[in-house]
Amino acid sequence: MSDILVIGGGGAGLCAAIAAKETGASVSVLGKTYPTRSQTSMAQGGINAALGNVGEDSIEAHIADTLRSAHTLGDENMIRRLCEKAPEAIGWLDSIGVPFSRLEGGRVAQRRLGGAGSERACYAQDYTGLKILHTLYDRALGMGVEFLDELFMLNFIVEEGRVLGVTAIDIGSGEVRAIGAKSVVVATGGYSGLYRGFTTNSSATTGDGVAAAVRAGCVLSDMEFVQFHPTALKRSGILISESARGAGGYLLNSRGERFIDELKPRDVVAKAIWEQIESGEDVYLDIRHLGEAFIEENLPQERKLAKLYEGVDPATDLIPIKPVAHYTMGGIEVDPNHMTKVKGLFAAGECANAYVHGANRLGGNSLLETVVFGREAGEGAALFAREYGSVSPASSAQFEKDRDFVAAIPQFTNQIDFYEKRDFMGKIFYRNVGIVRGEMGLKGVLAAIRQMQKELPFMGIADKSREFNTNLLEFIEFGNMVELAEIVLVSAIGRNESRGAHQREDFPAEDDEKFGGVHSLSWKEQGVLCNEFEGMR
């Protein structure tokens, strides 16, 4: 048993693991994939820090931009901490070997992303997330962090309000195991996977950790806030980085007209594109004028993906795009030390809501959050482990329940195809819980989701084998998705206003009097979903 168990090996999980390991603790990282396959690998644009290496910048400006974009749902203290620690975070990443793009003289190169007043995003071509993630992995391996790869976490083991470990399926063997720890960091990523078919995210981003957290007694907050990335490839939802617009790319409609300042925050640009598409226009990203040499040097991934999925070469053709789900601002509520309502259970990265993104995240701030808050969560977990030590679970109830559940799934009748339901959920979420929402649509989707919850026992799996059963894992993921879908909907229905990424056609104005600074909270009591808007006037 390790002192600290980290769930999820993306940017936040690895930073937590490294920071905890630095204190001398023993650390294990458990994940359903290998760490380098995490969502972080897909981050392209950059990581923000007010270094001022290219244009003039200041930490105060970084704070102000982040606060503005959060639309009153950001916590100034947390944002200040994030922005103040940003230069130090870049310095640390640099010291462990991250191959950032450079300026003459060796300083880290920076570029401008949407919503930022300056060239603030440090980058490594368009592989920023990939290169940070891999360097973190190398570092963690070098430090002797233990990796429990391809273990799928089912639930947290909680007794008397304290986490004691997790239950997980060993994917290769199919065996259910209980893994104990003195403290746990959950860093499992967001839930954009609810929008299957309409998301930039990996097919693995199904919100498993967030769903397990709410079952374990954590509070989820601001779950209605889902960021739509303005520019994903039309057919596949594959991301075309914001840096394409940052470098001077245009958005055009079918008539070849520009219709929005391309560098506005993502919520504004996504909505403008959505309105064009709803009025019957096709929308394109045009980067032809940047020139082939620039595209090859700075946007090689984009070029490759546009060719593969749309059959167009951005150097000579327009790129057909649409906005799709990209990042979930909501998540597990944490205190300023990143601890959840469950003692000893910390959360960091996209799965957490540390109140720095609020109603709309700025490009370049999520990688920053994974590093700064990931490290803080790891330090907090190490401190907790030292202070409170290990406790042996009084019962093996959670393990037995989960083992029996996994053993029972192959007996489910499988009369309803969950893959079909999963695609259907993606479609109705995109149409009705998307960029522009309305009460009727939201309530319709809620009814459909509640029906799916009832139908789960009539779904099931065709693959009855134990070893590497992806059919079984995807069914469990679908269960997590359905659980979170209800929470997103209830929160979205309750917020009768438009704010940041939550745009309501029936309540088009920001209602500061009623909802300014008000967070939606969701939790479960005896399995029943409870929801309130904290301090609503």
- Residues carrying an active site annotation: 266
Nearer to another protein, 105 or 280 (CB): 105
Minimum distance, C-beta of residue 119 to another protein, in the bound complex (Å): 16
Find out whether 389 and 182 touch, Cβ atoms under 8 Å.
Answer: yes
Burial letters 148-160, b for 16+ CB under 10 A, else e: bebbbbbbbbbee
Residue type, 42: M
Minimum distance, C-beta of residue 205 to another protein, in the bound complex (Å): 9
* Cβ within 8 Å of residue 5, ≥6 positions away: 27, 28, 30, 165, 166, 179, 180, 181, 183, 184, 185
As a whole number of angstroms, the distance between CA 290 and CA 261 comes to 17
As a whole number of angstroms, the distance between CA 117 and CA 57 comes to 8
Cross-strand partners of 169: 152, 176
Nearer to another protein, 387 or 467 (CB): 467
As a whole number of angstroms, the distance between CA 135 and CA 138 comes to 5
Burial letters 60-83, b for 16+ CB under 10 A, else e: ebbbebbbbbbbbbbbeebbbbbb
Binding residues for another protein, rule: CB under 8 A, are 33-34, 36-39, 41-42, 94-97, 99-106, 124-125, 127, 130-131, 134-135, 138-139, 141-142, 149-150, 172, 202-204, 236, 238-239, 301, 304-305, 308-309, 419-420, 423, 461-463, 465, 467-471
Nearer to another protein, 173 or 254 (CB): 173
Minimum distance, C-beta of residue 303 to another protein, in the bound complex (Å): 12
Minimum distance, C-beta of residue 99 to another protein, in the bound complex (Å): 5
Find out whether 356 and 365 touch, Cβ atoms under 8 Å.
Answer: yes
Nearer to another protein, 307 or 524 (CB): 307
Find out whether 233 and 321 touch, Cβ atoms under 8 Å.
Answer: yes
SS3 category, 456: helix
Residue with tokens 């893959």: 419
Minimum distance, C-beta of residue 94 to another protein, in the bound complex (Å): 8
Nearer to another protein, 38 or 253 (CB): 38
Q: Burial-class residue 533 by CB neighbours within 10 Å (0-12, 13-18, 19+).
A: middle
Minimum distance, C-beta of residue 60 to another protein, in the bound complex (Å): 29
